[in-house]
Amino acid sequence: VLGGLEAIRTLQRAGYKPVRSIELLLFTSEEPTRFGIGCLGSRLLSGELTAAADTALQDANGNSLQEVRTSAGFSGTLDSVRMPGGYYSAFLELHIEQGPLLEQRGISIGAVTAIAAPSSLRVIIEGQGGHAGGVLMPDRRDAFMAAAEIALALETLARSTGSIDTVATCGVCNVFPGLVNGIPSRVTLELDVRDIDGARRDNLLKNFHNEAAEIAARRGVHIRFEPINQDAPAPCDPALVDAVVRASEKHGISCQRMISRAYHDSLFMTRICPVGMIFIPCRDGVSHRPDEYTWPEAIEHGVTILAAVLARQSAA
């Protein structure tokens, strides 16, 4: 957001007069998954999410999106957020890579060609609880041990698709009752699977469902899958990708084409307009951590290219 503001100010300071207006968009709730999915703002703006979400989406305490937003002072209907198709001629997003490739290769700009989309799902495993001392090992239906095996099966599947672009993560594991002396009776896992190739991702998920069901049956636990989110991967606009590459060449800044493994508001903006993304390196590929960092020079490179492409796209 600040990079976009700086790019606009740079163009203003240079005396540039756009033919098409340039707007700075600040999306709400790109990151928080309080309601199970991120990118609430861009999902609503693009029509990916409809007014039904107002009551359908609930947080862990059972509060609906409508209740939460109303109590935070956001009135009006969700439908009113939707932007008509054709309103924007292009959408550009500047972001850190959130991966190690640019830094490792010493390249300053990534011209994003496509955005991998996550499929996230919740796996609820119900076994049989009991006292940790009282139930013999052969009689156990331990929900956590089943969950551990299921999580490892997911990892093995992700590592064996033959493509480096497949990633899978189990970021949430809630154990009930969660006592050192109690056999877990219920475990909830939340899984995230991503790939630039939607068919390969969906095939992995199909195999995962089968393997998890087999593990559950063998261990005598009940398993249930709840989809959280399943978005299609999206290509960036080839003309905008080219524009990023050419602007980099013109400014003597190194650039390579690459995919985005993380997803962004841009993913949803592809539903209503051509989209381009500009990546800059980040230290050790780290993000979503307190030590997330990129360098002032890297930011300057990113803003320079953003301003250049904005100027080109708004010139006619």
Q: Distance between CA atoms of 67 and 54, rounded to whole angstroms? A: 8
Cβ 249 to a second copy shortest distance, Å: 26
Q: Give the containing element (helix H, strand E) for 309.
A: helix 296-314
- DSSP assignment, residue 283? G
Q: Which of 25, 51, 228, 253 binds a second copy (CB under 8 A)?
A: 228
If we measure between CA atoms, which residue out of 237, 133, 146, 235 comes closest to residue 187?
146
Q: Is the peptide bond before 177 cis (omega within 30 degrees of 0)?
A: yes
Beta carbon nearer to a second copy, 113 or 166: 166
User: What is residue 121's three-state secondary structure?
Assistant: strand
Interacting span for a second copy (CB under 8 A) from 18-26, 40-48, 165-173, 248-256: 165-173
Cβ-contact 102, 158 below 8 angstroms: no
**Residue 175 binds a second copy, judged by CB under 8 A:** yes
Between 34 and 73, how does the x/- string for binding to a second copy read (CB under 8 A)?
--x-x-----------------------------------
Helix axes 238-251, 296-314, angle to 10 degrees: 120
Report the residue from 203, 230, 287, 314 that binds a second copy according to the rule CB under 8 A.
287
With respect to a second copy, which residue has the nearer C-beta, 15 or 138? Answer: 138
Q: Which stretch binds a second copy (CB under 8 A): 32-40, 63-71, 206-214, 245-253?
A: 32-40
Which amino acid is residue 19, in one-letter code? Answer: V
DSSP letters, 51-93, are: TTHHHH-B-TTS-BHHHHHHHTT--S-GGGGPPPTTS-S-EEE
**Does 224 engage in binding with a second copy (CB under 8 A)?**
no
Q: Give the one residue of 27, 88, 208, 263 binding a second copy; rule: CB under 8 A.
A: 263
Which residues in this chain contact a second copy in the complex, by CB under 8 A?
Answer: 33, 36, 38, 97-100, 116, 118, 120, 129-139, 142, 144-145, 147-149, 151-152, 155, 158-159, 164, 166-173, 175, 177-185, 190-192, 194, 228, 260-263, 285-289
